[in-house]
Amino acid sequence: MEIDTQRIWTALKSVLDPELGVNIVDLGLVYDVKIDHGHVDVRMTMTTPACPLSSYFQHVIPRVVSEQVEEVGSVSVRLVWDPPWRPEMMSDEAKKALGWWR
């Protein structure tokens, strides 16, 4: 059975950054999702390379995606630093939630 990419993105939207209380998709941290024969590869970044939450996301994302999308066999999270994260990458909803809306 083919895995619907939109279901993966929906699952990722349920993962909140515990420091900011906003989901990682709206924060602009998730750059790409690839699916290959039941394996999901999530390519994402952090707001800064020194962010202490990288190990948290490496643990939580595979669990959440696997729980919400039963067809998933495995999930890997690849942290990348290029392009570097910028506040402009946030959705309008994230900007509003964080008080950045003008």
* Region 5-95: CATH code: 3.30.300.130
37-52 confidence digits (pLDDT tens):
999 999 999 999 998 9
18-37 per-position pLDDT tens digit? 999 999 999 999 999 999 99
Instruction: Using pLDDT thresholds of 50, 70 and 90, give the confidence band for residue 102.
Output: low
3-state secondary structure of 26: coil
Phi, psi of 23 (to 5 degrees): -70, 155
Cross-strand partners of 35: 40
- Residue corresponding to tokens 């970044």: 45
Q: Is the pTM of this model over 0.85?
A: yes
Question: Do 24 and 17 contact (CB within 8 A), yes or no?
Answer: yes
What are the boundaries of each domain within the chain? 5-95
Strands 74-79 and 39-44: parallel
More confident residue, 92 or 3: 92
